Amino acid sequence: MSKVTYREAMRQAIREALQRDERVFLMGEDVGRYGGCYAVSMGLLEEFGPERIRDTPMSESAFVGAGIGAALGGLRPIVEIMTVNFSLLALDQIVNNAATLLYMSGGQFNVPLVIRMTTGAGRQLAAQHSHSLEGWYTHIPGIRVLAPATLEDARGMLWPALCDPDPVFIFEHGTLYNVEGELADDAAGADITSAAIRRRGDEATIIAYGGTLRTALDAAEQLAREGVSAEVIDLRSLRPLDTTTVVSSVVRTHRAVVVDEGWRTASLSAEVSARITEEAFYDLDAPVGRVCSAEVPMPYAKHLEEAALPKVPDIVDAVHALGA
Amino acid sequence: MTETQTGENSVPAPAQPTSPYGVRDQTQEHRVHLLREMLRVRRFEERCVELYSDTRIRGFLHLAIGEEACAVGTMEALTPDDAVVTTYREHGHALARGISMRSVMAELEGKLEGCSRGRGGSMHLFDATTRFYGGSAIVGGHLPLAVGLALADHMTRHHRVTACIFGDGAVEEGEFHESLNLAALWHLPVLFCCENNLYAMGTAIGRSESETDLSLKAAAYRLPSWEVDGMDVLAVEEAAREAAESVREGGGPHFLELRTYRFRAHSMYDPDRYREKSEIERWKERDPIPGLVEQLTSTGALGEGELDRMEADIATEVDDAVAFADAGTLEDVSDLERFVTSGPDDSTRASS
């Protein structure tokens, strides 16, 4: 075991991938000399050189598309997009090429590409650097969407993502990079298909992912002090969704609250809620609750940003509202 | 610049051959081959019109009648190991690249035997064996893809060319500028071929571009770039060969502006109300096929009755392709969701 940050765990994962497979390379804005906007790739340029740690121009569409082309050409690119808001400049490449080529070509051309990007609020970066748009990506058939919320997943999800023959998106919540903890030295190769139960409980199920997992766990802790036993599920894979883990939990607890930093309307939380309703309706003691971000462009001022985000009391209240 | 009567849809006069390389003295036999390839494309597409009216082909159908010299000349300059990434007006590129007429026609009829299993249709022809990466219907959207394929070759020290073909409309997209910049910055082996037919769908180039000299734009990104008479297959082939050889030898990306014209509407849906009939007629005088026929006949390269025999052969090939497509099978609906992602039994992919 050694003490690492989420950032370092991610860096270890990238380093390991570069060492294991010569087809792997990293490209994106400021990943090289600068060391990565969030310092994830610090030192990798010196270690692996400019061919494999490629600084790109501010051309999201071109370098994401080039990642798709390089994947078609036999390489295993890791493309870093600074933040999810910037990924909108590459949506054409993602939706119209990465997600469609295998299908349109009748199975001839798959796209083994990994795209990493930062998501979420909490750092006073206002309305063009703070949104949680991963839910939009989960709408798209043909891609896998991951949200590592723990050090183990930051360390372990990248390699299996690179082994996937199809495009994989990894959403890293910006407030997680400095989270520190103990990580096993051989913590590689996580499962990327299933949700995980992060806390056991039997009176309500709180479903969270990425940046909201800690908030959900804190809420469960508070509920425990109040005598309510809440289970916490970390979705981990946002597409495809591990509905089985979610539904089997809800069937036991009879109450569900979905926590999502995305907006409520037409969101990932709506999808999770719908699946619970479809598959566990008669096991529910109350309607599915949701705790989401306020439907506003993220404000800069600290107190307003805090007010916009899901917080522990919101989750606790939502669980109580279900009669627990 | 010659103004048309209306002034609204003003277009430049037909370009004169401006390749700095001149026309190489090619064997007459090769010229006959070029003629045959252009005729194959022309007759194929003419049949497509009939099949469209007959509702056997549906969706959008974009014909390149008039532009055959571009497709044939460019494909002729490539080796089998090179890659092609192209636009939605791509029947000619596919046929000239060597994808069988049968599988292209079957694709247009939405059949399982089509080169994309009927998943793509006219706009999305794919073929792994000839490294034909589509058939993209987002204007400019395939340029970054071509840059990436070239990046893979560059990083793995493969000395081969990725030919990226697009129309003048793509120059209006940001992806054009991002892609040329990235390819030039990283010195990647891409041959950018802009088939400038003077109209982005129904909008004349002068109505959407502040600078209508497209090779000038490419030159701004430090790409060797020049204009070519896209109605002359010999000029296109010559320029494409020069450019492709330079790309292959490590000269970085090159840009060709092939000045051409489509004789038919943008697609089968287009009533073609945005240009003068006289303009179309003027360009038809420069039809690449009769021009080459005349040249080959006058020099004796095309003997008595040879053109008729060629036409008959091609008619047979087209008939055969249609019969093949008509007899093709419809993919089982139970396979609807196959290839959304790679399945466990789909492990032999081109990029795996």
Amino acid B268: pLDDT: 86
Nearest to A102 among B145, B149, B342 (CB): B342
pLDDT digits (tens, 9 = 90+) for B240-294: 999 999 999 999 999 999 999 999 999 988 889 999 999 999 999 999 999 999 9
Tokens 């109505």 locate to B207
Nearest to A105 by CA among B59, B132, B152: B132
Q: Chain A residue closest to B184 (CA)?
A: A57
Nearest to A67 by CA among A111, A103, A37: A111
Tokens 């000045």 locate to B259
Q: Are residues A106 and B116, on separate chains, in Cβ contact within 8 Å?
A: yes
Contact assessment for residue A255 and residue A285, using Cβ atoms and an 8 Å cutoff:
yes
**Rg value, chain A, Cα:** 19
Nearest 5°: phi and psi at B135?
65, 65
In which element (H, E) is residue A10 found? helix A6-20
Amino acid B300: pLDDT: 87
Alpha carbon distance A140, A150 (integer Å): 25
Size of interface A-B (CB pairs under 8 A): 168
pLDDT-based confidence at A298, cuts 50/70/90? very high
Q: What is the ipTM of this complex?
A: 0.96
Amino acid A186: pLDDT: 78
pLDDT-based confidence at A207, cuts 50/70/90? very high
The contacts of residue B31 (CB under 8 Å, 6+ apart) are B234, B292, B295, B296, B301
Amino acid B19: pLDDT: 41
Helix axes B288-298, B68-76, angle to 10 degrees: 70
Q: Are residues B349 and A101, on separate chains, in Cβ contact within 8 Å?
A: no
Q: Which among A55, A93, A109 is the top mutation candidate for probing chain B, defined by the most B β-carbons within 10 Å of its own β-carbon?
A: A109
Contact assessment for residue A265 and residue A136, using Cβ atoms and an 8 Å cutoff:
no
In chain B, what are the domains? Answer: 28-330 (3.40.50.970)
Neighbour-count burial of B150, counting CB atoms closer than 10 A to its CB (0-12 exposed, 13-18 middle, 19+ buried): buried
Amino acid B351: pLDDT: 59
Cα A318 to chain centroid, rounded: 23
Nearest to B12 by CA among B270, B229, B234, B239: B229
Domain spans, chain A = 2-183, 196-321
Alpha carbon distance A233, A252 (integer Å): 13
pLDDT digits (tens, 9 = 90+) for A209-228: 999 999 999 999 999 999 99
Amino acid A189: pLDDT: 80
Instruction: Name A231's bridge partners.
Output: A205
Amino acid B22: pLDDT: 43
Alpha carbon distance B329, A185 (integer Å): 55
Alpha carbon distance A292, B181 (integer Å): 41
Amino acid B3: pLDDT: 36
Amino acid A5: pLDDT: 98
The CATH class, in words, for A196-321 is alpha beta
Active site residue A139: no
Amino acid B107: pLDDT: 98
Looking at A8, A29, A60, A305, which residue is catalytic?
A: A60
Within 10 Å of residue A140's Cβ, how many Cβ atoms?
Answer: 17
pLDDT digits (tens, 9 = 90+) for B210-250: 999 999 999 999 999 999 999 999 999 999 999 999 999 99
Contact residues, chain A, for B139 at CB < 8 Å: none
Active site residue A278: no
pTM for the predicted model, two decimal places = 0.94
Q: Are residues B118 and A51, on separate chains, in Cβ contact within 8 Å?
A: no
Provide DSSP, B142-199: THHHHHHHHHHHHHTT----EEEEEEGGGGGSHHHHHHHHHHHHTT--EEEEEEE-SE
Give chain B's residues under pLDDT 50: 1-10, 15-25, 348
Q: Chain A residue closest to B173 (CA)?
A: A61
Q: Do domains A2-183 and A196-321 have the same CATH topology?
A: yes
Amino acid B346: pLDDT: 57
What are the structure tokens assigned to A11, written together? 């860096």
Alpha carbon distance B143, B134 (integer Å): 11
Average confidence score pLDDT of chain A: 97
Q: Chain B residue closest to A91 (CA)?
A: B141
Amino acid B17: pLDDT: 44
Amino acid B13: pLDDT: 52
- Just give the CATH number of A2-183: 3.40.50.970
